[in-house]
Structure 1
Amino acid sequence: MAIWVDADACPVVIKQIIFKACNRTKIKATFVANQYLSIPQSPYLSFIQVEKGFDIADNKIVEKVSANDLVITQDIPLADEVITKGALALSPRGSLFSKENIKSRLNMRDFMETLRSSGVQTGGPAALDNKDKQAFANELDKYLARNKP
């Protein structure tokens, strides 16, 4: 059991929550990004730097993930791929992606992408707030409690 973090787009505050949680519970987390990421020295934290390019980090996570691992990502297609492999996916806002909800989320993502490509201004996601951080920390703690080493 391990945690994989799609680190290129993961907010700093969420990374800090993961650092603390993994050190506290002694569960390993690997951060995957296409640019250098400074992480605290810890036997429970590691970093894989991949080449720059579209979906290179995502592909590395899909290659390495195992059933029951947890992937932290806001990338819905990546969440879909890891769920297909039997892993769990959690967004930095605390939303747990599942077999039951991932297809509808993919459909909504594709719909919004179609709107944007046709020139409709859809705006981006709201800034991460304290409610989002707490929701993420709560979901991460539930996962860690169920998967103690």
Structure 2
Amino acid sequence: MGLEILVDADACPVKAEIYRVAERYGLPVTLVANDYFAVPRDPRIRLVVVGSGFDAADDWIAERAHPASIVVTSDIPLADRCVKQGATVLAPNGRPFTPNSIGMAMAQRALMADLRAMGEVTGGPKPMSGRDKSAFLSALDAAVVRLNRG
């Protein structure tokens, strides 16, 4: 299994950055989504539409993640599943999910869900900034270089 990028694509704000890195290194990219959307006309980029089933995109990605995969997602349970498969997992802001950090991320997610349920926290994540996209671009490039070195 060769190096590839798997993207949880429905709400991914860094698709353009992924395409740039993939083109630079000649890597295949698979975008997994519940609906169709436009992707660049490039034979290395493919869109997989899984339908609207609950966690259908997550299941598709998690079943195919492997140690030569770079998975891009902000979904912490999906990140956990992929880290356990040995994949390199990055959030769209460039933050890596690792075996050492995923437990804390899962706990923080559960805490935030509880706080939202109690009405203590409202709203979602802050919008992506240029700095976040730049950090993601650097993290993705570094992950590709590291995995290419083997």
1:2 pairs with 2:4: yes
Q: Is the CA contact 1:112–1:122 (under 8 Å) kept in the aligned structure 2?
A: no
Instruction: Tell me, in whole angstroms, the C-alpha distance in 2 between the residues paired with 1:51 and 1:111.
Output: 30
Q: Secondary structure at the match of 1:18?
A: helix
Q: Is the CA contact 2:71–2:90 (under 8 Å) kept in the aligned structure 1?
A: yes
Kindly state the Cα deviation for residue 34 of structure 1 after the two structures are TM-superposed. Answer: 0.3
1:46 pairs with 2:28: no
Cα RMSD for the two superposed structures:
1.3
Residue 127 of structure 2 is matched in structure 1 by: 127
Q: Is the CA contact 2:73–2:92 (under 8 Å) kept in the aligned structure 1?
A: yes
The percent identity for this pair of structures is: 39
Instruction: Tell me, in whole angstroms, the C-alpha distance in 2 between the residues paired with 1:57 and 1:88.
Output: 18
1:103 partner amino acid: G
Instruction: Tell me, in whole angstroms, the C-alpha distance in 1 between the residues paired with 2:113 and 2:28.
Output: 34
2:30 partner amino acid: T
Instruction: Tell me, in whole angstroms, the C-alpha distance in 2 between the residues paired with 1:5 and 1:53.
Output: 17
Q: How does 1:41-80 map to 2 (within 5 A)?
A: 41-80=41-80
Question: 1:37-79, CA deviations, whole angstroms, 9 ceiling, x for partnerless residues?
Answer: 2111112211100010221100000111112311000000000
Q: How does 1:3-42 map to 2 (within 5 A)?
A: 3-11=5-13, 14-42=14-42
Q: Is the CA contact 1:5–1:30 (under 8 Å) kept in the aligned structure 2?
A: yes
Question: 1:79-130, CA deviations, whole angstroms, 9 ceiling, x for partnerless residues?
Answer: 0000001111100011001000000010000010011112223332111001
1:88 pairs with 2:109: no
1:44 partner amino acid: R
Instruction: Tell me, in whole angstroms, the C-alpha distance in 1 between the residues paired with 2:84 and 2:20.
Output: 29
1:21 partner amino acid: V
Unaligned runs of 5+ in 2: none
Q: Is the CA contact 2:112–2:121 (under 8 Å) kept in the aligned structure 1?
A: no
Q: Is the CA contact 2:34–2:57 (under 8 Å) kept in the aligned structure 1?
A: yes
Unaligned runs of 5+ in 1: none
Instruction: Tell me, in whole angstroms, the C-alpha distance in 1 between the residues paired with 2:75 and 2:139.
Output: 17
Q: Is the CA contact 1:25–1:148 (under 8 Å) kept in the aligned structure 2?
A: no
TM-score w.r.t. length of structure 2: 0.93
2:100 partner amino acid: E
Residue 145 of structure 1 is matched in structure 2 by: 145
TM-score w.r.t. length of structure 1: 0.94
